[in-house]
Amino acid sequence: EDQVTQSPEALRLQEGESSSLNCSYTVSGLRGLFWYRQDPGKGPEFLFTLYSAGEEKEKERLKATLTKKESFLHITAPKPEDSATYLCAVNTGFQKLVFGTGTRLLVSP
Amino acid sequence: GAGVSQSPSNKVTEKGKDVELRCDPISGHTALYWYRQSLGQGLEFLIYFQGNSAPDKSGLPSDRFSAERTGGSVSTLTIQRTQQEDSAVYLCASSFDSLSYNEQFFGPGTRLTVL
């Protein structure tokens, strides 16, 4: 069974304090790993897609990386507006995303 | 351009009543997906459409749940004889097509509360 595990469940950072979120996966065949951001009361907002081990993508203070077993979302010098729940999902070729339970990030000024 | 829209944004109903949730995908997107997000749990896949066809209904929790899509656009998720355990946020997403590497873009969701 395809599984996605995210850690930590919650993370509290001071503004400017860099850190990483982890997404480990066990799948039969990876066809894409997706990162989303979700704010309270809203739908997930697409951030990145990664397809193969070694791939990296960046957007502002966020950088996503992928290995054969896990993905990391690195947050450099975060700001309070980066506070949100970050979701990781995998697509194994069956047209549905399997999601982890997310990491709740709180960045304090 | 316009994103995925869903209506209503909130729905409160009594146990045993039927409810209909609507999703309007991004224009030009042929694939449409329904997910459910319960408190403290990850998003759970329910069903997806490619055009008007639903090749995968495996995620529907029971035969009380059904969905249809007409004209390759708007989709309706219907829950009959609602139960309290149906309370959740129902999210709709669309993508350009159903190829597995295409990003799915989500709507704001419908929060369903069954009393």
Please give the average per-residue pLDDT across A7-32, as a whole number. Answer: 94
pLDDT of residue B56: 81
Cβ contact A96–B33 (<8 Å): yes
Q: Is pLDDT at B62 greater than 70 in this prediction?
A: yes
pLDDT of residue A93: 75
Q: Across all residues in chain B, what is the average pLDDT?
A: 92
Does A8 sit behind a cis peptide bond, omega within 30 degrees of 0 on the bond before it?
yes
CA of B91 to nearest chain A CA: how many angstroms apart? 7
CA of B106 to nearest chain A CA: how many angstroms apart? 6
Q: Across all residues in chain A, what is the average pLDDT?
A: 94
* B1 contacts B53 by C-beta, under 8 angstroms: no
pLDDT in tens, A72-109: 999 999 999 999 999 999 987 767 899 999 999 999 99
Residue B1: pLDDT band (50, 70, 90) is: low
Which of A43, A46, A93 has its CB closest to that of B108?
Answer: A43
CA distance readout (Å), A59 to A46, A76, A109, B70: 12, 11, 21, 37
Please give the average per-residue pLDDT across A51-64, as a whole number. Answer: 96
B71 to chain A, any CB pair closer than 8 A? The answer is: no
Pick from B32, B43, B99 the residue to mutate for testing the A interface (most A CBs within 10 Å).
B43
CB < 8 Å to B44, chain A: 99
φ, ψ dihedrals at B84, nearest 5°: -60, -30
Q: Which residue in chain A is spatially nearest to B5 when comparing CA positions? A: A43
The percentage of residues in chain B with a pLDDT greater than 70, rounded to a whole number, is 97
pLDDT in tens, B29-39: 999 999 999 98
Which of A95, A100, A102 has its CB closest to that of B100?
Answer: A95
pLDDT of residue B100: 60
- Per-residue burial over A45-74, b = 16 or more CB atoms within 10 Å of its CB, e = otherwise: eebbbbeeeeeeeeeeebbbbbeeebbbbe
Residue A2: pLDDT band (50, 70, 90) is: confident
Residue A70: pLDDT band (50, 70, 90) is: very high
Query: How far is it, in rounded angstroms, from Cα A7 to Cα A20?
Result: 9
Q: Which residue in chain B is spatially nearest to A94 when comparing CA positions? A: B100
Which of B100, B103, B108 has its CB closest to that of A31?
Answer: B100
